[in-house]
Amino acid sequence: MGRKKILKPQSETQIKRKMHDRRTKGSRVSSWVKLPYPAIVQVLHNLTDSERVLSAQVCRSWKQAFQNPGLWRTRHFEFGGSKANSSGQKALAFVRTKGVYLRKVFVSCRHITSNTSETITSTLEKFVPHLREADLENFHITGLELDRFWKYYHLRGKVAESLLQLLQRAKNLKVLEVSLAQFDLLPGTEILQAVSEACATKLSMLLLEDFYHSHLAVNELGDFRLALQSFTNLTVVSLNYCCVYDDLIKHWALSLRGKLTSLHIKACDNESHAHTVSDSSWRSLELACPNLTLDLSTVGIGPAASLIPILAPNAPVTILHIWSGYDNDNSLQLNDTINHIAGCYKSCLKSLHLDFDNYQDDIDDALIHLVTSCRNLKHLQLKAICSTRVAATICELIRARQSVLSSANIMLCAVSDHNMDHLRELREDMESLARERGVSLVLHNDLF
C-alpha cells in the first residue's frame, strides 16, 4: 500500500495569496467574456479574416460577434492571374457563407489569358447565385477585356449572362463600375437596360469606360440611348466618346440639373469619334450643372482636323489629357490644336496633360502661348519635342507669381546638348524656389 500524502498546514499568507491569484485569473477571463458586444465587433472590424477566425474561438460572445453582418459588407475579389484557380475557390468559399451580407463588391480581373478565361467564366457563373439575395449598393468589375483575350466566343456570352442575372436584381444599386469589359453591342446594351430597369432612380455613379469593344457606333443604337437616358440621379459618369451624343447632353441638362458633378469622356482613334456635340448642348449642361468637372481624354487622335471637333469651344473642360499617337512622317497641325485649347479653355482648364510625338511640328510658340493664357491651370504635365524656351517660360511664370501651378512635370524630348545644359541650369535654379513655394516642379528630358 502506498503511503498517504500528508498535507502541510498552510499559513494565512499563503491562503490569501492563492485566493488573490484565483480572483485575478477570474477577472482576466471575465474581462474578455464581458466585453460589450459593440466593442467586440469594433475590434473584429480591424482584424484580417484569419485573425477573426481565431478570435471567434475565444468564447461564445466572440463567436456570435464573428457572425455580425456588418463585418462582411465590403469585399475585394481577384479573378484570373497566375493563381486563377485558388483565387476563384477563395472567392466562392467566401460568398457561400457571407455573400448575403455583402453591400459593396469589387472584382478585379488580372492577367487574363485564353486559358484563365475559362476559369474566370466558371467562377463568375458560380459566384453570382450567392449574391442574388445580397442588397448590393456598389458593384465594381474591372479588366475583363472580352475583346482581347477571350479566345472562345461562347465564354463572352456566359460572362454577360452572369452579370445580367446579378444586376437585374440590384434594386438599390448606387454605384456601378464595369470598365474595360469590351462587350459586344447587344449583350452590353442588355446589361445596361437591366440596370436601368432595376435602379434608374437610385444609381448615382455610372462608370463604363471601355464598356463596349472598339469599332462600334454605340450612340446610334436606340435601345442604348433609351437605357442611358433613363438614369435620373447620376452625379458621376464615365463613358467613351462613342457613347456620347448631342441629344444625351441636352437630356442631361434637364434630367440631371444640379446633380451631375463629374463627367469623364474618353475618345480613342480606334472607335467612332467623327460625330460632334454642339456648343449649345454643352452650354446648356454647364448652366444646369454649375459644379460640373469635365474630364476629357483623347488617345491616339493626332491630326487637328480630327481632334478639334471633339474639343467643342463651349465644353466646360476642367481636365484635359491628349496623346497624339505616332506619326513620324506627317504634320499633325498641333499648333492649331494647342491654340484652340488656349482660346477656348483658358478660363476653365485646371489640369492639362499633353503627350505629343511632334516630329513634324514646331510647337514652342504655341505652348508658350498656352501656358501664359491658362491662368487657372494648377497641374501641367508635358512630354513633347520642344526647346528649353518652354521650360524657361514656365519657370519664369512661377518665379514671378504669374501662375497658380502647384505641379508641373516637363519632359523635353530630342533636345540638343546645349539645351540639355540649359535644362540642368533651370532645374538647379528653381529647386529651392519651387520648394519654398510648395510647387512640385520636375524638369527633365528623355535621357535623364
In whole angstroms, give the CA distance from residue 23 to residue 213: 70
All structural domains of the chain: 72-213 (3.80.10.10)
| Confidence (pLDDT) at 9 | 57
Compute the radius of gyration of the chain from its Cα atoms: 30
Count of all residues that appear for the chain in the document? 448
Q: Supply φ then ψ for residue 110, to 5 degrees.
A: -130, 145
CB burial class (10 A; 0-12, 13-18, 19+) of residue 140?
middle
Contacts of 328 by beta carbon, 8 Å cutoff, 6+ apart: 357, 359, 360
Share of the chain above pLDDT 90, in %: 68
Model-wide pTM > 0.75 = yes
**pLDDT tens-digit profile of 127-146?**
999 998 999 999 999 999 88
At 296, which helix (H) or strand (E)? strand 293-299
Contacts of 17 by beta carbon, 8 Å cutoff, 6+ apart: none
Contacts of 59 by beta carbon, 8 Å cutoff, 6+ apart: 32, 33
Helical segments of 108-233, H only: 116-127, 153-167, 185-199, 222-229
Digits of tens for pLDDT over the chain (448 positions)?
455 555 455 565 655 565 555 555 544 555 666 788 888 888 888 888 888 888 888 888 888 888 888 889 999 999 987 888 888 999 999 999 999 999 999 999 987 777 788 888 999 999 999 998 999 999 999 999 887 766 677 888 899 999 999 999 999 999 999 999 999 999 999 999 999 999 999 999 999 999 998 777 898 899 999 999 999 999 999 999 999 999 999 999 999 999 999 999 999 999 989 999 999 999 999 999 999 999 999 999 999 999 999 999 999 999 999 999 987 788 999 999 999 999 999 999 999 999 998 889 999 999 999 999 999 999 999 999 999 999 999 999 999 999 999 999 999 998 888 888 899 999 999 999 999 999 999 999 876 5
